[in-house]
Amino acid sequence: MTVKTSYDDALELVESLYYTGIKLGLENTFKLLSLVDNPHINMRFVHVAGTNGKGSVSSMIESGLRETGLVTGLFTSPHLVSIRERLRLNGKNISKAEFSNLVFFLYERTNHLFTGEKEQKPTFFEFITVLAILCFQKNNVDIAVMEVGMGGRLDSTNVINPLISIITTISLEHTKSLGSNVADIAYEKAGIIKNCTPIICGERNRGVQNVISKIANEKKAHSYFIGNHFNNLKFHIKKGKNSYTQENRVKWKNKKYLIESKLLGRHQCLNVSIAVAALSVLSENKHINLKLSDAINGIKKTNWPGRLEYLSNGLLIDAAHNLAAMTETISAIKTLFPDNNWTVLFAALNDKKWKRMISEVLPFSDDIGLVSINHRNEVNPQVIKQFISRKWDQKKITIFQDIPKAIYYLLEKGNGLVLGSSFLVGKVISASKRRVTIPNDQCDTKDKK
């Protein structure tokens, strides 16, 4: 029998775990770790939770740590194009060869866990979390930054004992799993707080801060809150020859910083302030050799794809995937392009407040494209079309047969903007790289209103 060892085989194996769905809890993750000799023990981590901004904050902190000369790991989700984006070493995706070797090593050690009932099998996210930890341990990473997948208390990543815990922002999300109000969700996020471990919170809601403060006090964890210990003051977007940058004025305790960043918008100014706070606390840790000025310089170099990013073909994309993120993205777009009327491509998942999300977009777009992203939880484009038509019957709505046709239409119209789902953004990036061209007469117009 042929032994499968290729990258495609490894990818197929990991993706086959999607069907196990989402299961909150740490039991399976601890089982997987124990079968590979508990690589998380004695490792150093930064743990980042939150509703929005946790990916950007994680990447800023990793970039800052790397700039000081530390060997870094970064675990984030979801990915946009390649699953290897989830596991980064010193700012780069791990190689296909290393991904394959790790997958088969981990599966060979743990495959007996996958033979029982579906409800008992490790999930995709549990497997990929342990894969990341194993990767970072084998590569002698100095500090690994781990982004929480969902919630915090029962998220697979919560098996680690970090140097510092971070909660970015909190709003209603995954209410079936995390709770029906922000206080309940805050409790779940605060589950990442560990005994005597500093916690940084970027959420201004007093109720949320009270929940987090109570848990931090119980665990004797020193807490730092926005509006008290640090602040995002203001930002200014600068237009260059072919790109934009943003000057962020932030404050940590009594010191102010002016930090230029490639990431744009008010929400990114907040994320910069959280990253500065985290790196400042880490710089005070006598067990870490970290020069704060170098770390802050690393924030300036952060590159986080899919966040108000222009692709080489001219499309503007943003992975705003929930209402809070969409609101911030729209605010940034209005600041950058106050006079633009956009041709928008939109898709969303059912568990998001997609009606309010698309309602944020419609005031500055008269031409809306919809397309399937082939996700089991997507909103059917026809359903979105019906919703738009009932409330804004003057809008032009086109349902496209596939992503390449939608891209071709956006490029023809100009001012193309892609929003609503990270899965949509990922597919648009992939198709744009392939430079697929489609004759004009193949654009599907039968569903135009």
How do the domains of the chain map onto residue ranges?
7-300, 309-442
Residue 380 DSSP class:
P
Q: What is the pLDDT of residues 74-119, one digit of tens each?
A: 999 999 999 999 999 999 999 999 999 999 999 999 999 988 776 6
Q: What is the pLDDT of residues 225-257, one digit of tens each?
A: 999 999 999 999 988 766 789 999 999 999 999
Q: Are 61 and 145 in contact (CB under 8 A)?
A: yes
Instruction: State pTM to two decimals.
Output: 0.92
Which residues, other chains included, contact 210 with Cβ-Cβ below 8 Å and sequence gap of 6+?
Answer: none
DSSP strand pairing (87-89 vs 72-75): antiparallel
The arrangement of secondary structure in 309-442, i.e. its CATH architecture, is Alpha-Beta Complex (3.90)
Which residues, other chains included, contact 270 with Cβ-Cβ below 8 Å and sequence gap of 6+?
Answer: 53, 168, 169, 202, 226, 232
**What confidence tier does 4 reach under pLDDT thresholds 50, 70, 90?**
low
Domains 7-300 and 309-442 fall in the same CATH topology:
no
CATH class of this structure's domain 7-300: alpha beta
Q: What is the mean predicted confidence (pLDDT) over 273-279?
A: 98
Query: Rounded to the nearest 5 degrees, what angle is found at the Cα of 155, between the Cα atoms of 225 and 81?
Result: 95
With a cut of 60, say whether residue 448 has pLDDT above it.
no
DSSP strand pairing (255-261 vs 244-252): antiparallel
**What confidence tier does 445 reach under pLDDT thresholds 50, 70, 90?**
very low
Please state, in angstroms and as integers, the Cα–Cα distance from residue 16 to each residue in 20, 101, 102, 121, 200, following that order.
9, 17, 16, 12, 36
How far apart (Å, rounded) are the C-alpha atoms in residues 144 and 133? 8
Sheet strands side by side (includes 223-225): 92-93, 87-89, 72-75, 143-147, 45-49, 164-167, 199-201, 223-225
How far apart (Å, rounded) are the C-alpha atoms in residues 397 and 276? 43
Q: Would you state the pLDDT for residue 446?
A: 35
With a cut of 60, say whether residue 335 has pLDDT above it.
yes
Q: What is the mean predicted confidence (pLDDT) over 436-444?
A: 46
Q: What is the pLDDT of residues 168-203, one digit of tens each?
A: 999 866 556 565 688 889 999 999 999 999 999 999
With a cut of 50, say whether residue 1 has pLDDT above it.
no
Q: Are 135 and 103 in contact (CB under 8 A)?
A: no
